[in-house]
Amino acid sequence: MGGAAAFGSVASAPVALADDVDPVVTELPVPGDSAAPDVTAYECDVLVVGAGWAGLHAAVTARKAGASVVVADKGLPGYSGLAPFAAGCTYYDPDWDEYEGTLKAVTQTGEYIANVDNFAHDMDNSRAAYEENVEFGLVGGYLNAPASGYPEYTDDRDYFQANIQNERHHKWMEVLDANEIPVADHVMVTELLIDNGRVVGAVGLHFQSSTIVTFSAKAVVLCTGGGSYKPAGYVTSGDTFDGEWMAYQQGLSIVGKEFDDFHQTTSYQPGDYYYNNTWDYVEPYAPYASFSVADDASARDTYASGKASYMTLNRINQALYGLAPSPDVAPKRTFASHGVEKDADDPRALFSAELGEGGTNRKSDTYGACPGMQTHMNCGIFCGWDDHDGATPLPGLYCAGDGIYGDMSEGCMYCFVGSTTTHCSVQGNMAGAAAAAYAETVEGPALPQDQVDAITDEIFAPTKLEKGFDPNYVVNQLQAIMIAPQIQLARNAESLNAALTQVIYLRDNVVPKMMGYTGHDLRIALEAKHKVLSAEMKLRATLAREESRGMHYRTDFPYRDDKNFLCHLGVSRAEDGSVQVQKIDIPDSWKGDTELPYEQRYVWRFPGEAEALGISEEGLYEEQ
């Protein structure tokens, strides 16, 4: 596939039909399998699974280091996973930003379990990663939203076509093609191949043709993103914890399962990603916001409280008390409100709060767009706190990016909007370089056919049943279980155990009985299986953390417990096959000043926290 040339554009379209032809709204029948891909067996030095921000950088960096690289993606690179919907990036600018203040803000806002070392590392490399994204052709920007010309179009599609040359998404494939990196697109990689204690490749399913695709690789970099349970409303659907599944099967430990992100949506139309977020998709990817918290305690207190209000307390309040009615009941075209807290006339502040005529603020009055999603940069395979390369304990296996590299660089909060793609780009570079270097030290592996056969049987198991369950049933049931407010937000041991009972039922009695006839069915079945495991891991980690911290709130333990939980929790498979949770110590240097009085360390209150500890209620929480 080639970049923009592979895509039809309006300029090349044939003449449209006359308007007096009656519209046809009936679909043609769903076909059986589509054509198999030309290549179904790959051999390379480095396999990169997932070509989002992390995967793109991993692939290009490994290639530039001299490795032969293949990318596998569940969709088409540039259009799959969360990567297409990133709106902007943050990089550290010494003339503009505050280095020390930012690190201290991460320490405090991340509630003293943030990997400040990796945050600093990514910040140090952020400018270079940003410049690479510029080089890839992915970056652009306007002085403000109206300057783009967007408000002049009543039809987003016309604006999109008029600006097709600036359009960033097709440039993914252009970059991969330019670097001679073959892409196994629309292939879902499901299991790793292991020989003599090292990774030797992977197996995937080209679902549109129900074809098995094998990868023989000296090194594998997982850039598979995270996942969620209700993705309409925020576009995490393509991410279904696939990398987490693969790592867990190999005995690796997953950290950060207990911290849940949110994204806002509209309460009257919660599946409404397009209308609420049009601008994020069609605009260029731009630098905005910054690492700019001033280096004084008051600024950091304000920052931490503001973050808490926006990301945690508002949604806890909504879970406990509901919403005020909304006058808006129809979706609207909106601009993203990426305000920058700097002088709007400064050219570096590429987005201003001014929207101009024809624009409206983004309407989003509730959380709930993607329950179950990991907090950005705070979940994934545990690689040891000294690691910057995404080198997992399994030789040959690397990881990079949101949801799969568990470096916990923002602790238990999402501290800096726009930092996600920064982290992902840097991490991709690190993992790509490390994987390429490792690949030079090992021989090309032989494909373990017995493992391929076993994995193939597992993938096709749903086709062998005469009766069973629709995989979509599992996905829908899991949504119902996992997105209840008492599981997502205001949780306690009873509610979590109730959910766990349900999830275990799905795991043991429904997942093994999923049936399917088409490659699409098989894909949904695999994704359902991965999501059920992820749900069990999430519930067990949430039960184990008997305190509240950042984006983890327990009504039965509504306070931070530094004595017992200034640590992370790793979830892994025990000897007996069960899911186990273990504490992982963290460096003292992350913990801030543990001698400070509680109210100074933690400047905002969870509901019930002050009462439980007998301390002042002062802080950001307000009962409605």
Partner 1 sequence: MSVARLDLNKCVGCKNCVKVCPMDVFYFDANENKSIIAYPENCQSCAQCYVHCIGKSLTMSTIQSNYSIGAGRALRTYATVVAAREEDAGEPA
- Tell me the residue ranges of DSSP E strands in 346-477: 380-381, 397-399
Q: Shortest gap between Cβ of 380 and partner 1 (angstroms)? A: 20
Which residues fall within 8 angstroms of residue 237, CB to CB, at 6 or more apart? 231
Residue 406 in tokens: 């568990």
Whose Cβ is closer to partner 1: residue 128's or residue 324's?
Answer: 324
Which residues fall within 8 angstroms of residue 349, CB to CB, at 6 or more apart? 288, 340, 342, 343
Q: Shortest gap between Cβ of 552 and partner 1 (angstroms)? A: 16
Whose Cβ is closer to partner 1: residue 127's or residue 332's?
Answer: 332
Whose Cβ is closer to partner 1: residue 395's or residue 485's?
Answer: 485
Whose Cβ is closer to partner 1: residue 338's or residue 523's?
Answer: 523
Angle between helices 53-64 and 126-135 (to 10 degrees): 90
Residue 324 in tokens: 């005020």
Whose Cβ is closer to partner 1: residue 174's or residue 295's?
Answer: 174
Q: Shortest gap between Cβ of 32 and partner 1 (angstroms)? A: 10
Whose Cβ is closer to partner 1: residue 14's or residue 94's?
Answer: 14
Q: Cβ distance 563 to 602 under 8 Å?
A: no
Q: Cβ distance 561 to 243 under 8 Å?
A: no
Q: Shortest gap between Cβ of 318 and partner 1 (angstroms)? A: 4
Q: Shortest gap between Cβ of 152 and partner 1 (angstroms)? A: 17
Q: Shortest gap between Cβ of 620 and partner 1 (angstroms)? A: 19
Q: Locate tokens 């359009």: which residue?
A: 167
Q: Shortest gap between Cβ of 142 and partner 1 (angstroms)? A: 18
Residue among 96, 124, 604, 146 at smallest CA distance from 341: 96
Q: Shortest gap between Cβ of 1 and partner 1 (angstroms)? A: 8
Which residues fall within 8 angstroms of residue 21, CB to CB, at 6 or more apart? none
| Residue 226 CA: distances (Å) to CA of 240, 242, 256, 424 | 6, 8, 11, 12
Q: Shortest gap between Cβ of 106 and partner 1 (angstroms)? A: 27
Q: Residue 146 is which amino acid?
A: P
Cβ neighbours, 10 Å, residue 393: 15
Element (H, E) at 89: strand 88-89
Whose Cβ is closer to partner 1: residue 50's or residue 432's?
Answer: 50
Whose Cβ is closer to partner 1: residue 136's or residue 160's?
Answer: 160
Q: Shortest gap between Cβ of 555 and partner 1 (angstroms)? A: 16
In sequence order, what are the beta bridge partners of 573? 579
Q: Residue 125 is which amino acid?
A: N
Whose Cβ is closer to partner 1: residue 201's or residue 519's?
Answer: 519
Whose Cβ is closer to partner 1: residue 248's or residue 285's?
Answer: 285
| Residue 143 CA: distances (Å) to CA of 38, 349, 391, 412 | 45, 8, 40, 33
Distance in angstroms (rounded) separating the CA atoms of residues 216 and 47: 8
Q: Residue 309 is which amino acid?
A: S
Whose Cβ is closer to partner 1: residue 169's or residue 568's?
Answer: 169
Whose Cβ is closer to partner 1: residue 85's or residue 99's?
Answer: 85
* CB-neighbour burial class of residue 456 (10 A; exposed 0-12, middle 13-18, buried 19+): middle
Q: Shortest gap between Cβ of 274 and partner 1 (angstroms)? A: 4
Q: Cβ distance 518 to 31 under 8 Å?
A: no
| Residue 359 CA: distances (Å) to CA of 139, 147, 162, 403 | 23, 12, 19, 33
Q: Shortest gap between Cβ of 435 and partner 1 (angstroms)? A: 25
Which residues fall within 8 angstroms of residue 185, CB to CB, at 6 or more apart? 1, 73, 75, 76, 77
Distance in angstroms (rounded) separating the CA atoms of residues 379 and 193: 23
Find the length of the chain: 624
